[in-house]
Amino acid sequence: MVTTKLLAFILYFAFVVGIGIYFFIKSKSGGEKEYFLGGRSIGPWVAAMSAQASDMSGWLLMGFPGSILAFGMGKVWIGLGLALGTAANWIFVAKRLRNFSIAANDSITLPQYLSNRFLSKGKALQIICAIIFLVCFTVYVASSFSAGAKVVTSVLPQVSTSTALIIFAVIIIAYTFLGGFKAVCWTDFFQGLMMLVAILAVPFIILFAKEYDWSKVIAGYTMADGTVSTFNANPFSASWQDIVSGLGWGLGYFGMPHILVRFMSIKDSKVVKKSATIGIIWVVLSLGAAIAIGILGRSLYAEELLANGAQEKIFIFCTNLFPPFIGGLLLSAIIAAAMSTADSQLLVASSSFTSDIYKPVIRKEASDKEMLWVGRLLVFVIAIVAYFIASSKSEAASGIMDMVENAWGGFGASFGPVIILSLFWKRLTYKGAVAGVLGGAIVDILWLLLLSGKTGVYEIVPGFIAGVICAVAVSLIDKEPSDEVKAMFDKASSAE
C-alpha cells in the first residue's frame, strides 16, 4: 500500500519540477519583469486558478476542516467570510488594480505600486512593505512546509518530520527558483484542479462508508487538553466573537500580496470578469466541501483524532477510504495546496526585497540579470528560515491554523485598507498610505499579543479598522495630492 501511494507522490513531484525546468529553459532571456510577473501575459483560467490555489494552502484541507471537527459550526463563519472576501476582491479590486499598477509606472510589486501611485521618490513605504512581506511570508511559508511534512510522514512513517520538511522544501525551491512566476502560476493551475477534485470527492466517499453514523457526528468527544468537543449543527448559534472573527477573515483578501499580484499579471483587463467567475466558483465549492469534511468526518475519526490533538489530519485519514493509488493522489492534493501557496509567497517576498530594498537602497546600479539572481537566492534564504520555524518545537509553530491566521491577519490589516483607498479615493496621500500600513500592522500585532485571547476577536478586525482611520486621518491633515497624481488616478480609473 505504501509503495502504491509513494508512486503517486513521485509522479506528482516529477510533474511540478518538470514545469519549473520547462519555464527556466523557455524564459532564459527574460529579465526581472518576466521572472516576477510573467511579463503580464497570464490568461484568465491560469490567473483565476493560480490566485485561488495560492490563496488556499494546506490550511484548506487540514487546518480548516480540522477546526470545524474540533470546535463546531462556529468556524463555518470563516468559510463564509472567505467566500465573500474572494468575491469582493475579484469584483472590485482585480481589474482596477491591474490598470492602476500599469498607470503607476508599470509597477511589478505591490510596494512599488503603492509608491508609484503617488509619484513619490521616497523609499520609506517600499521598505516598510518589504519588511512586513518578509516577516509574514516566512511564517506563512512555514505553515505550508508543516502541512506538506505531515503528509509525507503519513505516507512514509519511517521518515522523520525534519527529513520530510527538507524533501518538501527542496521540491518547492527547485521549480520556484528555476521557473519564476510562470512556473508558479502553471503549477498552481494544475494544483488548483487537483485540490478541487480531491476535496469534492472526500465528502461523498464518507457518506457511503459503512462505518458512517450521524449520531457519532453530533456526539461529544474529549480532546487532548481535557475539554469536551461538542457539535452544534446551527451556525447561527455561534458566539458574536466567532461571527465577527469569521467574517473578518474576508477582509484579509484586500491585502494579500500573493493574490493581488495575480491581478497585476493578467494580460488583458477585459478577461478579468471571466477569471472572477472561475475563481469565485472554485472557492465556494472548495470551502463548502472542506466544511462537509469537518462535519461528516466526526463520525469516523473524531474520537481518535481529538484525543491526540490531531484534528488537522482529518483529510489524511479520509484518504484511507479510497484505493491506495487514488488515496496517494488525494494526499498529493494536500501537497499541492501547500506548494501552491508556499511557491507564490516565496516569489512575492523575493520580488519585493529585490525590487524594493536591494536595488533602490543597496545597489542602485544593479542590472536585470543581477536582480534576477538575487531574487532566486532570496527564495532559497526565505525557505531555509521557514524550515527552521516549521521544525521548531515552540507552541507558536505547532499549528497550521494558528500560523496561517497570524500571517493572514498581518497582511490584511497592513495592506488591505491602503490598497482599497488607493484604488477608490483620489484624496489619499503618500503619508496617509504610510500611516495606514504602519497603523494597521501595529494594532494587529498589539491586539494579537495583548487582547486576542481575552476578547476572542480576531486581530485583523481592529487592525483593519485602525489602518483605515490612520490612512484617512493623515491624508486629510496632509496637503492634497499633486495634479499629476490626480491625473494618473483619473487615467487609471477610466481605463478599460
Instruction: Bin 313: left if φ > 0, else alpha if -120 < ψ < 50, else beta.
Output: alpha
Residue 121: CB atoms within 10 A of its CB come to 8
Burial of 167 (0-12, 13-18, 19+ CB in 10 A): middle
SS3 at position 70: helix
Q: For cell 465528502, what's the residue?
A: 203
At residue 23, the pLDDT reads 65
CATH of domain 2-399: 1.20.1730.10
Dihedral, CA atoms, 112, 113, 117, 118, nearest 10 degrees?
-30
- CA-to-CA distance for 155 and 76, rounded, in angstroms? 29
At residue 397, the pLDDT reads 44
Find out whether 439 and 466 touch, Cβ atoms under 8 Å: yes
At residue 286, the pLDDT reads 93
At residue 471, the pLDDT reads 97
Residue 316: CB atoms within 10 A of its CB come to 22
At residue 45, the pLDDT reads 72
Return the bridge partners of 266, or none. Answer: 42
Each residue's pLDDT tens digit in the chain (496 positions)? 456 777 877 787 777 767 767 766 665 555 455 554 444 556 677 777 777 766 776 678 888 899 899 888 888 999 999 999 999 999 999 999 999 999 998 887 788 898 899 988 877 888 888 888 888 878 878 877 877 787 778 777 788 888 888 887 887 777 666 655 566 667 677 777 888 888 899 998 888 877 778 888 888 888 888 888 887 777 777 888 889 998 898 999 999 887 888 888 777 777 888 889 998 999 999 999 999 999 998 988 988 999 988 898 899 899 888 888 888 888 877 777 677 667 667 777 777 778 777 877 777 777 777 877 787 788 788 888 888 888 776 554 445 557 778 888 999 999 999 999 999 999 999 999 999 999 999 999 999 999 988 898 999 999 999 999 999 999 999 999 999 999 999 999 987 5
60-69 core/surface letters (b: 16 or more CB in 10 A; e: else): bbbbbbbbbb
At residue 281, the pLDDT reads 92
Return the bridge partners of 228, or none. Answer: 222
